[in-house]
Structure 1
Amino acid sequence: MSFKLPKLFLYVLGAILVLNLLQAFFTPLIFDEAYYWHYAKELAWGYFDHPPMVALMIKIGNVFFNGELGVRFVSCLLSIGTFILLWLAIDNPAKKKYIPHFFALVFSMTLLNAYGFFTLPDTPLLFFTALFLLVYKRFIAKPSFILAIFMGIVMAALMYSKYHAVLVIFFVLLSNIKLILNKYAWLAVITSLICYTPHFIWLYEHDFVSIKYHLFERPNAPYNFNKYTLGFLVNLVAIFGLTFPFVYYALFKSKSKDLFTKALLYLTYGVLIFFFISSFNRRVQTQWIIVVSIPMAILVYNYMLENGKIRKWIYRLGIINIVIILFLRVGLIYEPLFPVNYETHGNKAWMKKIQSEAGDNPVVFENSYRNAPMYAFYTGKTSFSLNNIHYRQNQYSIDDSEKAVQHKKILYISKYLKKNKLAFPKKSGSIYYGVFIDDFESFRKLRCIVNDEKFELNDTEHSVTVYNPYKEDIGLSKLKFAIAYLNGSKQFQELIPIDLVPENDKITQLSANDSTLFTFKLPKPKTTNLPKYFKMVISENDLQYGLNSNTIELD
């Protein structure tokens, strides 16, 4: 396997790198990037929604650059690395004659192009998938101790990028089941687990909050064919654009001629089938299937080298794809060129407008892990997302950012406040309203731990432990308790206040870093027909009720 890259390849690669760096510099952040920038303010072995690789990338980038380029610098480098790894994974010597065709294929893949400058967990996922496949190719040709160690490290890096990486590792293993008898393969697995141990420890210390959310707590709408299954099929087209019929034709015609090709096919079909089945249960987001771009780029380009007609069509349509993508990329910066209002548009000015009213006072956004970090990024001021029963938990629910707004005068921003003079219309058309709170106090980390296992809508008395993780006592007079009923899709339906009876009737406060035992009865719902789940929720100082317990199933 030659690692020498042709001059034309390097020239095109260099041009793409310069283009991506310029795009990264001039394009305002999207909301997810701002959220991951919030991650990076305090490096950890894990975060609420994702493993820590994306935060580490931003932290490294900020060493070299400020602003948007600092957030995206490492992504620009990794995307170039992905193209190099894909090229090295292709053995056909004819590839040197068709370098423009290679770039017409890979650079025309919509999300592979976008992740060339956006910083999202999928960016390192794509890079480490390409690296994993290249290392695996060498491993099956000649396994060794050093190669096994390196493959284990790469597998861990995959898992540190995004939890979906488990599908990459699983389907490659499934394609070569004899690996379970290979001592070097076991060495790779053990190395990977050792490298991943810090994240396992982080999950344990945080009560497996990420796993619980993704697998059990995440709300979901009832099945809808158009939004779910048809949406999944549309995504299959969207990730390849105009080249999609020829790309999938090349995939269909590709045959398993060796273990490496077999791994590529298993990985591609495995991911597609997995998410097709998932589409009957939930909406499959486009980026969830983006990892198939890596094995498909190798399979399709190899097929292009052997089939002139397909090569011509993919090349022509790929060029059209690229022209359209580049036009839209300009539109990310220059708004009039983009066909719709996109999330890179108007946020900077909107945050400055809010800051002009807030001054140096912190801003608390109701239910928005998107707006809170965007405000902090573009103003340099303190912000916080106060999450309630109408929303979901996120990184602001578990980190220490709540401390920075306690007992401060804050500007509270919400879509749902009564209309007043502090109105902040967004470019998208939605209007947020603001109100100042002189002495803000929240206790969103209070946890209700329900002790019983069986719950029915009757007069049975149940016990609940309320845990106060704060360093100060909290008076019960500041708190209100309620039951939030959810439907079968875990969507909030109805809120009914309840009284908690303390085990000791002399208790008037929740002691610091301590648990207090109460009893309660489930009230009958007034408007919800046969709720499937419930949560115990708490309102502090008349704020909206929070998210204070796990989702509990009703019998």
Structure 2
Amino acid sequence: MNPTLNRNHRLIFYSAWLLIGLLQAALTPLQDDEAYYWTFSRFLDWGYFDHPPMTALLIKLGYGLFQNELGVRLLIVLLSTGTVYLCELLTERRNPFLFYTICGVLAVLQLSGFMAVPDLPLLFFTALFFYVYRKFVNNASLLNTVLLALVTAALLYSKYHAVLIIFFTLISNFKLFTRWQTYAAGLLALALFVPHLWWQYQHDWISFRYHLFESNVNPYKISYTTDYILGQLLITGPLAGFILLPILFRYTTKNLTEKAMKFTGIGVLVFFFLSTFKGRVEANWTAPMVVPILVLSHQHLLDHEKQKRWIRNLVVPTLLLVLLIRVVMIVDIVPADVVRGRFHNYHQWPAQLREKTKGLPVALSSSYQKASQYWFYSGVPTLSVNQYTSRRSNYNFWPLEDSMLGKPAVLFVDQQQAQDSITTPDGMLYYATDSSFNSFGKVRFETEEKKYKIAFEQSMICKVKAYFPPQYAQYLQQHPKVDAAVKVGVFDGRNLLFDIPLTQSLRQWLQQPEHSVMLPLNLPKGKYFLRFAVASEAGWFTHNSSKIDVVVE
């Protein structure tokens, strides 16, 4: 072996990892989800509808240095490099070149290591959690107790999946429950997490209600399960997944830290496998298992020469595949929507449209990703008006809709409503200018009960109260000609069955906020839910209530 390489292999490996990540971060257009998290950083807070605030904070810090794609991703790339380094530190017996080889066949580490999404801080703090946990179980000193609490809180602030890591670590070592330091670390971590819990309380526990009861609830399809299994093989490869994934189950752990990692890796896999019977599971939701896979695979392969040779043989094909995908991310050469739609559709034309529309703010219907991408590449505040048939997002809570109320705005509309158009990689985009934009997404309707039981094919009567934020009430009072229709959508699962227009208009609700409403449902037996919606001048009906459950008996 080259003496220089032998002496400096770590410096070379980690420098290359960091440099490649920075280049990829600088040259790749912002992905749609990344643009959404960038908008988080415009409204830094203790919580968001979708996720805790760690990703937003990291983006805010990096974007403060560089106002471009590199700035959005800068700290993520640094954390990605740190994740790999911490994983190497977690290996008890070390063969660094074997470790680098495993990193080479784990394409997900390379291809996602520059993306500003919550999985990356979660991965970093997962690795750091196990590193500090190893110190804690060997010496439960005050310092290690505090460090464990800090890292646990950072995990929770990264992504809610942190709960799984904490849970499976605890059940991997029941002796933890006999140590007062465990409770001290838990209480301190909880205290540090209180600001986020307070934010949730102020917003009616919106994130927890969405993730636990509203998101991803669909009738079962066998493809949910088969796609999940295939996705996990691809995430742990894609070529080496059939070797690395089984190691997680086969490896015999040598210490409590390895045991915690094994419990976590298998536990996360099983948890989301069972979740496929509830609805579709995204492949990246199991991201925390990448740390156990990387560390435990290294430990296992040290003593299994045949599998080690297989891994070595797969490095070059994997790296070539990764190189190809890196190029496709940077350069718009593949017409597939899955690539173009996520990376390339918004790179150039938003600046052109900004010039044509003189920098007016933009509103579009039910696409937080498109709104975020347009905002990032145009520099123009953009609102996603989330309609009642789609899910809510942070655009329902940020002070955007109310700041645009009654002011000129550009609307992305269909061809029949358009005044002009612009050519984009996704086809023609039609738009119109509204001299006095309005949308009433922050007006709320609440029923006396959250759940109703009615008889078969009967109508439903409920008492309803409308709540108008002061700015909306003032706008309607100052514009007596403005009014809007109100209706109730009736849903079976995620599907809209029909609408029931209400006789009271929005202005009538303002004048008299409480009404007794009769809804002629006439539904067969089953479970349904209702949602109030208010029209805008563009014809978009917004989310104006929580789900109101109805059981027909």
Please state if 1:270 is matched with 2:267: yes
Give the equivalent residue in structure 2 for 1:496.
500
What RMSD in Å do the two structures reach over aligned CA positions? 2.4
SS at match of 1:331: helix
CA-to-partner distance for each residue in 1:397-428, whole Å, 9 max, x for gaps? 011122332222211114x4527463345424
* Count of aligned pairs between the two proteins: 535
Give the equivalent residue in structure 2 for 1:145.
142
Give the equivalent residue in structure 1 for 2:406.
407
Give the equivalent residue in structure 2 for 1:318.
315
Distance in 1 between residues matched to 2:128 and 2:458, nearest whole Å: 57
From 537, 545, 553, the equivalent of 2:549 is: 553
The Cα of 1:286 is off from its aligned counterpart by: 1.1
CA-to-partner distance for each residue in 1:477-533, whole Å, 9 max, x for gaps? 71322110111x33333222122499xxxx94627xxx922110112369x996621
Give the equivalent residue in structure 2 for 1:216.
213
Give the equivalent residue in structure 2 for 1:196.
193
SS at match of 2:543: coil
- Specify the code of the residue in structure 1 equivalent to 2:501: P
Distance in 2 between residues matched to 1:490 and 1:219, nearest whole Å: 9
SS at match of 2:227: helix
The Cα of 1:337 is off from its aligned counterpart by: 6.2
Please state if 1:369 is matched with 2:368: yes
Give the equivalent residue in structure 2 for 1:355.
354
Give the equivalent residue in structure 2 for 1:235.
231
Give the equivalent residue in structure 1 for 2:302.
305
From 530, 536, 540, the equivalent of 1:534 is: 530
Give the equivalent residue in structure 1 for 2:31.
30
Give the equivalent residue in structure 2 for 1:389.
388
CA-to-partner distance for each residue in 1:45-89, whole Å, 9 max, x for gaps? 011110000000001102221200100000110001001100111
From 518, 521, 540, the equivalent of 1:521 is: 518
The Cα of 1:179 is off from its aligned counterpart by: 1.0
Give the equivalent residue in structure 2 for 1:471.
471
Q: Is the 8 A contact 2:460 2:521 kept in 1?
A: no
Distance in 2 between residues matched to 1:71 and 1:492, nearest whole Å: 38
The Cα of 1:157 is off from its aligned counterpart by: 0.3
Distance in 2 between residues matched to 1:449 and 1:518, nearest whole Å: 11
SS at match of 1:336: coil
Give the equivalent residue in structure 2 for 1:423.
421
The Cα of 1:322 is off from its aligned counterpart by: 1.9
CA-to-partner distance for each residue in 1:221-259, whole Å, 9 max, x for gaps? 322111x10110111111021001111232232013322
Indicate the larger mover: 448-457 or 306-315: 448-457
SS at match of 1:348: coil
Q: Is the 8 A contact 2:371 2:384 kept in 1?
A: yes
SS at match of 2:321: helix
TM-score by length of 2: 0.91
- Specify the code of the residue in structure 2 equivalent to 1:35: Y
Distance in 2 between residues matched to 1:547 and 1:72, nearest whole Å: 32
- Specify the code of the residue in structure 2 equivalent to 1:237: L
Give the equivalent residue in structure 2 for 1:260.
257
CA-to-partner distance for each residue in 1:125-181, whole Å, 9 max, x for gaps? 000000001111111111111101110110010010001111011001110122111
CA-to-partner distance for each residue in 1:91-139, whole Å, 9 max, x for gaps? 10xx2xx423212212432322223111100010000000001111111
Distance in 1 between residues matched to 2:472 and 2:462, nearest whole Å: 27
Q: Is the 8 A contact 1:54 1:120 kept in 2?
A: yes
Indicate the larger mover: 251-260 or 42-51: 251-260
The Cα of 1:24 is off from its aligned counterpart by: 0.6
TM-score by length of 1: 0.91
Give the equivalent residue in structure 2 for 1:18.
19
Please state if 1:446 is matched with 2:443: yes
Q: Is the 8 A contact 1:126 1:291 kept in 2?
A: yes
Distance in 2 between residues matched to 1:143 and 1:130, nearest whole Å: 19
Please state if 1:99 is matched with 2:100: no
Please state if 1:462 is matched with 2:462: yes
The Cα of 1:321 is off from its aligned counterpart by: 1.2
Indicate the larger mover: 349-358 or 239-248: 349-358
Give the equivalent residue in structure 1 for 2:3.
none
SS at match of 2:436: coil
From 284, 293, 314, the equivalent of 1:296 is: 293
Please state if 1:73 is matched with 2:78: no
Matches within 5 A, 1:476-491: 478-487=483-492, 489-491=493-495
Distance in 1 between residues matched to 2:115 and 2:319, nearest whole Å: 17
Q: Is the 8 A contact 2:248 2:266 kept in 1?
A: no
Q: Is the 8 A contact 1:172 1:267 kept in 2?
A: yes
Q: Is the 8 A contact 1:499 1:520 kept in 2?
A: no
Distance in 2 between residues matched to 1:10 and 1:492, nearest whole Å: 57
Distance in 1 between residues matched to 2:101 and 2:336, nearest whole Å: 24
Q: Is the 8 A contact 1:328 1:338 kept in 2?
A: no
Q: Is the 8 A contact 1:75 1:115 kept in 2?
A: no
CA-to-partner distance for each residue in 1:280-322, whole Å, 9 max, x for gaps? 1111101101211101111101111122211121122133212
- Specify the code of the residue in structure 2 equivalent to 1:232: Y
Distance in 2 between residues matched to 1:496 and 1:537, nearest whole Å: 10
User: Percent of aligned pairs with the same residue?
Assistant: 31
Q: Is the 8 A contact 1:382 1:404 kept in 2?
A: no
Give the equivalent residue in structure 2 for 1:346.
345
The Cα of 1:440 is off from its aligned counterpart by: 0.4
- Specify the code of the residue in structure 2 equivalent to 1:319: V
CA-to-partner distance for each residue in 1:161-214, whole Å, 9 max, x for gaps? 001111011001110122111111111101100110110111111111111211
Indicate the larger mover: 66-75 or 540-549: 540-549
Q: Is the 8 A contact 2:253 2:259 kept in 1?
A: yes
For structure 2, the 5+ residue unaligned runs are 1-5
Q: Is the 8 A contact 2:463 2:516 kept in 1?
A: yes
The Cα of 1:330 is off from its aligned counterpart by: 1.5
